[in-house]
Structure 1
Amino acid sequence: MAGQGQRVVKPDHVFDRGAEWAGLASFAVRAVPRAMLGVVSGRRRMGKTYLLRALCEQLGGFYFGATAATEGESLRQLGAALAGHAGSRVPFSFATWDDAVSYLFDLAAPDRGGAPLLVVLDEFPYLAKAAPELPSLIQREMDRYQAEPSRMRLLLCGSAMSVMGGLLASTAPLRGRAQLELIVQPFGYRSAAEFWGVADSPELAARLHAVLGGTPAYRRQFLAEDVPESLDDFDDWLCRTVLSPLSPLFREARYLLAEEADIRDTALYHSVLAAVAEGNATRGGIAGYIGRKAVDISHPLNVLEDSRLLEREADVFRAGKSHYRITEPLINFYEAVMRPAWARLEIGQAREVWAQSAERFAAQVAGPHFEAVCREYLLGPGGALLGGSLGRVGSGIVVDPAARKQIQIDAAVVEGGSGGGRASVALLGEAKWGTVMGLNHLERLARARDLLTERGMDTGGCALACFSAAGFSDALRARAERGDVLLLGLRELYG
């Protein structure tokens, strides 16, 4: 059991998560004589519970995982968990949450020990739904133990992103009371490849990540370590797992949407997501696809953003313009490939459906996902290519008025002007999943750079980059030898 101020070593069985572990451990053992509150959130299956349980085991803390239950049943479950933690054969009994919260904070009284006491209330939205007064009761105790000494280190954790995000927002009772706010994200694409044991095959890793992303629970809990053995095994693996009605992953995309507390009409939300998966990424395009007015879809768009299932990305070249992107790969795969053929998949025709989905998978799943991976690369390991630039990484459209067309830039690094200086462009990139890139792609990037120069942006240090999962033509490779273009394939992205 770690003491106050002691370094807490991350167990070997906790993969990656170094930054998250360090933040949680620092919070849990911080040597201050006051109660401290932390909020941990993240979409389901990210490993939050696994991480927090490991921390409690290391520190001898108290962990309670709530379930969907009535107020009375939740209090009984908490009493039983506390009795087990204390070694009592008789469950503790609480008449109200007022009593329960007071008891938890009493456990952290200085006269009961010297080290901070870690208390984790997991799936907190279940508790707050059954007892809406719970955040206010915690606020009262937190305020009380700012003036009085306390060893309490309370972590509230949950997967309902809209609920957890609201705990510290606006006029919420716990606003301004937290010393830690941690969102547990999916593994990055490189970490995901290592987690699945496919880092030595970038081609397989890229396809796997395009379908399942960086969600750790899918390998261990859902698939019981069923991992594609090679790139040749990917199609068979997909048909026996994600596309099989016998697999837990088959309906997972539907469950992810249904589990969000603020989502009622799931059909409308699926239609919105399907519109984005089909390439209708603007508000107007989404509204037109589902047959609604743009103003009528504001609420579902906001809810999907709050749930972190949809992300609005601003155009880095056109102020006020933006597009939407599905953040959960499995949902995008479901909307693009599975939902249109759901009836056939349900009767076991996975191989037939997948055989006819190659074009759809490339255009609506792998292609857009590859573009996002290229931007992630520039934010991380690819930063060394930018000569120290810390500009904004994104995508956008450069309008070519003379040719009356638009040039899509899949990956760009732009620095805003400051102190009267001009905005500058550090990199312009194009990404292709299934196309061998040639000189025509480089010429398009060069044309975009010229147009941005004409608009007054500083492009003197702008690099041009071609990202391709399919390779590059001999002519483009020869051009790259001159040093004025970067060629980045899957091997480079996965390092």
Structure 2
Amino acid sequence: MTFIGRDDDLRQLEDCYRAKKAQLVFVYGRRRVGKTETLTQFSKGKETLFFAAQNATKEEQLAAFSRLMFEAGAPGKDYLQQYPSWESALTELTRLPEPSDGGRRLIIFDEFPYLAKSDPSLPSMLQNLWDHTLRRANLMIVICGSSMSFIEKELLSEKSPLYGRATGILKMNPLPYWDAVKFFPDYRAEDKALAYAILGGIPRYLEEFDPDDSLASNITRHVLRRIAPLYSEVEFLMHEELRETAKYNSVIRAIALGGTSLNEIATHAMIPNATVAAYLTNLVELGIVEREFPVTAKPKERVKGARGLYQLSDNFFRFWYSFVFPYRSELERGDAHGVYTRHVAPVLHDFAGKPFEGMCREWLWRESVAGQLPLYAKQIGRWWDRTSEIDVMAVDDSGNRVIAGECKFRTSPMDLSMLDVLRDRAARVGIEQRSYMLFSLGGFTRSLSDVANADGSGIRLVSIDELFDAG
């Protein structure tokens, strides 16, 4: 399959590779986000030693790395069967043959946390070697891992031996929607948005759908059937990353059903608040859940967290807990088509409403960076108070100008009444300089278009097709 997206990530890695000094770069992100594929793409045309660590013993890891080093021409092959220690193996990186193209030798340690788990002294050893020899060598070393908490706490924090040694830190995020939908080039815009609402920006999930098959068939065949990898994907990841998966299931299910505050989630899950708070912290670290604040919230408010709401940041987790988890009995009996027909199809557009709002916010960021908005956004997000909510809002540096937006993933066109509602809600924000954006799947009525097209209206209408233009 053609490699899709990651242009900026690849560009930044390439900048590190072209730098004059030796490089120690950390690349990390949640499982399935595409780290290995991106590093494989980056390594093309470069003399690379790519070591994919396994969950194995120190001796097994060292034996595998030794074989790789000897194949790359390390001098130790002439007198060793394998390196006696990681220190001797890593020291020999400086004795590898110089690349024939005159470039830099690229060393990639994929899933480095497995190595550190089998030998906890490895970070200290690497730090010592980096300080004394490796940082003066013609090398670019990439440390890659999926355990985000391990990378951040054990390798990058102030307490880590490697603290301050990184020459680059790249946290890989899911693909933006405009790259994610390139997996389905022939889908119409509506189905592209629905596919993204289901799968999110995780390449591994996007690859499972057949771009030549219909959306309904893809959902039925690749999510709802027991044999499908996506059917068991969430359970696999939960068991891989967490203990007490039954309780985590209850917490995530509560959020999928609409619980957003700590109290609501604890009530739905029937778990004490303090316990739920600890579970939510772990889920945030894994990139499954996010804590959201009103876009105008001050830093002090965000620290106190009184107004923060919890949301599932992973689209596929939200879909799985909405349509797979509750209907497991039917699905286990092979009734994938029935579950799709009765439970998924009737509410799929409603389900896609929240992901569609996320798409609109991503689009606003892209437009702001390109200078295509009436302001340069400092913050983009949602806004709410006790009585009303605005789907998307952009605020400039001064905090005196905003763009307020309403998003509707419905097949009927948006009319003037929606603009009136948005204006009323925006007036509650307390910022005088306001402009408006309306995002709609079903387009806009003639009367609304006429008002928006009037000179100086401060209103912009954004269709579903425009969201995918120049993506």
Counterpart residue number, 1:354: 340
What runs of 5+ residues in structure 1 fail to find an aligned partner? Answer: 1-11, 400-405, 418-422
Match of 1:21 among 10, 15, 18: 10
Alignment CA distance shift 1:111-1:144 (3 Å): farther
Give the CA deviation at 1:115.
Answer: 4.1
Give, in whole Å, the separation in 1 of the partners of 2:409 and 2:41: 39
Please list, as runs of the form range in 1=range in 2, the aligned pairs for 1:213-228 lying within 5 A after superposition. 213-220=200-207, 222=208, 226-228=210-212
Deviation at 1:247, TM superposition (A): 1.3
> Secondary structure, in 3 states, of the residue corresponding to 1:132?
coil
Q: 1:277 aligns with which of 256, 259, 264?
A: 256
Q: Within 5 A, what are the aligned runs for 1:6-155?
A: 13-32=2-21, 35-86=22-73, 92-107=81-96, 115-145=103-133, 149-155=136-142
Aligned equivalent of 1:415: 396
Matching residue's letter, 2:429:
L
Give the share of equivalent positions with the same residue, in percent: 29
Measured after TM superposition, the shift of residue 165 of structure 1 is 2.1
2:184 aligned with 1:196: yes
Q: Distance in 1 between matches of 2:259 and 2:80?
A: 55
Alpha-carbon shift at residue 355 of structure 1 (Å) = 1.5
Question: CA separation of 1:81/1:111 partners in 2, compared to 1, >3 Å: closer, same or farther?
Answer: closer
Deviation at 1:465, TM superposition (A): 1.8
* Partner-residue secondary structure (3-state), 1:245: coil
Q: Deviations over 1:402-439 (max 9, x none)?
A: xxxx111110012354xxxxx32321111122363332
Pair 478,123 (structure 1): closer, same or farther in 2 beyond 3 Å: same
Residue 154 of structure 1: how far off its partner (Å):
0.9
Kindly indicate whether residue 320 of structure 2 is the aligned counterpart of residue 339 of structure 1.
Answer: no
The 1-side partners of 2:80 and 2:266 are apart by 54
- Deviations along 1:424-458, one digit per CA (max 9) or x if unpaired, are 232111112236333232112111232233xxx3x
Q: Which residue of 2 aligns with 1:286?
A: 265
Gaps of 5+ in 2: 302-306
In structure 2, the CA distance between the partners of 1:382 and 1:389, relative to structure 1 (3 Å rule), is: closer
Return closer, same or farther for 1:90/1:141 CA change in 2, 3 Å cut-off: closer
CA distance 1:334–1:273, change in 2 (3 Å): same
**What is the deviation of 1:13?**
4.9
* Alpha-carbon offset, residue 130 of structure 1: 1.0
Q: Distance in 1 between matches of 2:51 and 2:243?
A: 28
Match for residue 417 of structure 2? 440
Deviation larger for 468-477 or 389-398: 468-477
- 1:402 corresponding residue in structure 2: none
Tell me the SS of whatever aligns to 2:230. Answer: coil
Cα distance in 1 for partners of 2:102, 2:410 equals 61
Instruction: Write the distance in 1 (CA, Å) between the matches of 2:95 and 2:2.
Output: 33
Which residue identity does 1:481 align to in structure 2? N
* SS of residue in 2 equivalent to 1:178: coil
Query: Contact (CA 8 Å) 1:317, 1:398: kept in 2 or not?
Result: no
1:180 to 161, 164, 168: 168
- Say what the alpha-carbon RMSD is for the aligned residues: 2.6
Which whole-Å CA distance do the structure 1 matches of 2:44 and 2:447 have between them? 59
- What does residue range 372-387 of structure 1 map to in structure 2 within 5 Å? 372-381=358-367, 384-387=371-374
Letter matched to residue 417 of structure 2: N
What's the counterpart of residue 300 of structure 1? 279
Residues 111 and 323 (structure 1 numbering): CA distance in 2 closer, same or farther, change over 3 Å?
closer
* One-letter amino acid of the counterpart of residue 74, structure 1: Q
| CA distance in 2: counterparts of 1:296 and 1:136, whole angstroms | 34
Aligned 8 A contact 1:213 1:329 in 2 = yes
Match of 1:465 among 431, 437, 442: 437
SS in 2 for 1:431: strand
Q: Could you tell me the TM-score, scaled by structure 1's length? A: 0.85
Deviations 1:126-164 (A, max 9, x none): 111111111111111111137x73223211111122222
